[in-house]
Amino acid sequence: MLFLAVFCGFLAEYQLEHTIEKQKGADYIKSMIEDLQNDTAKLNKVTGSLSKINNSIDTIILYYNDIGTSTNPVLLRNLRAINGFPTFFYSDRTIQQLKNSGGMRLIKDKKAADGIMDYDAVIRNYENNAIYVQRYWEGLTALRLTIIDRQSLDNLISNSADSKVKPGYLITNDPIALRKLKNLIYELQFYHKNTIRDNTGLIEKATELMEVLRTQYHL
C-alpha cells in the first residue's frame, strides 16, 4: 500500500508538472503572437513612410535643376524628406525568453518551434541589411549637411509665398557636390524599394507564423 501511495504521488506530481509546462508553453505562444502583431504593425508603418519618401524623391529629381536657384515650394517641401528615415525595431521579447531560459523545450509542436526559429533567423538577416542602409543614410546626411543649410531651408519654406525671398539655403554651389548629392538621393530610392520588398516578405512570414501558432495551439 505504501508503494502504491508513493507511486500515485509521483504520478500526480508528474501530471502537475506536465500541466504547468503545457500552460507555460501556451503562454509563450500567446506572447509570440502579440510580438508578431507588433512587428506587422511597425513594418506596415515603416513601409508607408518609405513609400512617401520615395514619392518625395521623385519630386526632388524632377525639380532638381531648381535647387538653390528657385523658391519652388514643391521642391523645398520635398527636400525635407531626406532629413531622416524610419527604422524597424524587432519585437524580440518572447524569442529572447525562449532562447535564454530554455523555453523552446516547452514548445512541443515541431511546426510551431521551427516556424519561430525560422522567423527569428530571417529577422536577424533583415537587421544586418538594415545596418548597411543606415550607413548609407549616414553618408548621405554627412554630405547633405555640407550642402544644405537646414535652418535657412525651413525659413524659406515658411516664406516661400513671398516673391522677394531669395533661395539662399545652399552652403555651396559646387556643381560636383550638387551632382553627387543628386546621385545619392536617386540611389536611395533603390535601397528603399529593396527594404519595402523585404518588409512585405516579413509581413507575409509573420502572418503565416501567426496562423500556424493559432492553428497548432487552438487559439
Which grid coordinates are listed for 154? Answer: 525651413
pLDDT in tens, the chain (219 residues): 555 555 445 444 445 445 555 678 788 899 999 999 999 999 999 999 999 999 999 999 999 999 988 888 899 999 999 988 899 999 999 999 888 877 788 888 899 999 999 999 999 999 998 998 899 999 999 999 999 999 999 988 888 666 566 788 999 999 999 999 999 999 999 999 999 999 999 999 999 999 999 998 888
- Runs of H (alpha helix) within the chain: 2-62, 73-79, 93-100, 110-147, 150-158, 175-216
- Contact by Cβ (8 Å): 14, 149: no
What is the pTM (predicted TM-score) of this model?
0.85
170 DSSP β-pair partners: 148
Domains of the chain: residue spans and CATH: 14-216 (1.20.120)
91 Cα distance to chain centroid? 10
Which grid coordinates are listed for 20? Answer: 504547468
